[in-house]
Amino acid sequence: MFCSDGKTLNHYNVDSIEWVRPLMQSSNGDVWFNSRYKPCLYTYDGKSFKSFSSIVLKDWVFAMVEDDNKNLWFNNGKNDGVTFYDGKKFINYTAEIGVMPNVSNFFCTGMLKDKEGNIWFKSLSTELCKYDGKTFNFYSE
């Protein structure tokens, strides 16, 4: 991985990752990325790398959104629901814990935060889910 400050170009090697996919920079300045070939998330705070193993994330991360409370949301475009990170712990929101509908029917393919701070999740089956900070609401045709 390479990073430039406009003056110098630095090369970083993290755990011999062959293919790095940048996700986003969170509001605290950390750069989040993952590997296409390894179910693991990484952050870089400008000084050091930190890795989060596949304890919760079962595959590579497809998208990431930060909510107004600085919590992070991840999805992997697979049938694992969505994953929430509050800076201390990861929580998977899936059908198994009664939050998402049947996981096979809610294949989360995209996320975004709207101007009101709601987090929207799109499924492959065209169903939408809006999280307002308290409740998951589902919309379908």
The parent domain of residue 27 ranges over 2-139
Q: What is the pLDDT of residue 102?
A: 47
Q: Tell me how many domains the chain contains.
A: 1
- Ranges of the chain with pLDDT below 50: 102-104
Domain with residue 112: its CATH number is 2.130.10.10
DSSP string across the chain: -EEE-SS-EEE---TT-S-EEEEEE-TTS-EEEEETTEEEEEEE-SS-EEEE-TTT--S---EEEE-TTS-EEEE-SSSS-EEEE-SS-EEEE-GGGTSSS-TTT--EEEEEE-TTS-EEEEETTS-EEEE-SS-EEEE--
